[in-house]
Amino acid sequence: MANPASRAGRRAVWHADGWWAPARWRPSPNVGERPPGQQPTLAIVHSISLPPGVYRGDAVERLFGNRLDWDAHPYFDGIRGLRVSAHFFVRRSGRVLQFAATGRRAWHAGVSQWRGRDNCNDWSVGIELEGLEGGLFEPAQYRALARLLRALARRHPLTEVVGHEDVAPGRKADPGAGFDWLQLSRRLQGSGLHLPRARRAP
């Protein structure tokens, strides 16, 4: 799916069902419908690189599109057949790719719970950052992430931003210790979004 090239298309920030105009669109088959009447109120930040620590390739894009060559790298054999997606992927450069409309349910959180509610995929937006779990992220990624979150908060009743590690503790640890929640919190001042992890940071 290509972004509309018309002037009107460029002016519109959001398109049908929740496609963000500034992102490069790469629709994934790994999506579903949200429960009736359910809008996302939570954003979940993840980190991913394939193989781990290798950046700038297209392996993540291929994974989310079910096009990854499982034999291309020994690491891929351990995730063979995996069917996942996120709504967004923020590259090291700050470029944003979108794989699922925000009105739909992407497969990013797995078994998860937040504030007593299960199945976070039903009521969240998943944002993957290109990076290594526990590693550092680029300034361009924080800028792009803050811009995206502000746009999401204007479209949906988003209230909180957490990490994958928060909704699946003990099972997931991304984005990890290298992610600067305080920096993101500063960039989101005035947005109305709450970042519980930023309050716990030293």
Tell me, what's the pLDDT at 16?
A: 86
Domains assigned to the chain = 7-200 (3.40.80.10)
Residue 35 has pLDDT above 90, yes or no: yes
SS3 letters across 115-175: CCEECHHHHEEEEEEECCCCCCCCHHHHHHHHHHHHHHHHHCCCCEEEEHHHHCECCECCC
DSSP classification of residue 78: G
Segment 87-111 shows an average pLDDT of 98
- Share the mean pLDDT of the chain: 93
With tokens 């790469």, the residue in question is 26
pLDDT tens figures, 116-155: 999 999 999 999 999 999 999 999 999 999 999 999 999 9
- Asked if residues 51 and 66 have their Cβ atoms less than 8 Å apart, the reply is no
Tell me, what's the pLDDT at 27?
A: 98
Tell me, what's the pLDDT at 200?
A: 62
128 is catalytic: yes
* Rg from Cα positions in the chain: 16
Range in 107-116, 164-173, 191-200 with the lowest mean pLDDT: 191-200
pLDDT more than 90, % of the chain: 90
Segment 85-106 shows an average pLDDT of 98
Long-range Cβ contact pairs of 72-80 (< 8 A, separation 24 or more): 75/50, 75/51, 76/50, 76/51
Instruction: At 179, list the tokens.
Output: 């992610």
With tokens 């078994």, the residue in question is 111
Q: Of 128, 130, 133, 165, which one is the catalytic site residue?
A: 128
Instruction: At 103, list the tokens.
Output: 């009105």
pLDDT tens figures, 37-91: 999 999 999 999 999 999 989 999 999 999 999 999 999 999 999 999 999 999 9
Segment 100-117 shows an average pLDDT of 97
Segment 98-116 shows an average pLDDT of 97
pLDDT band of 198, cuts 50, 70, 90: confident
DSSP classification of residue 20: E
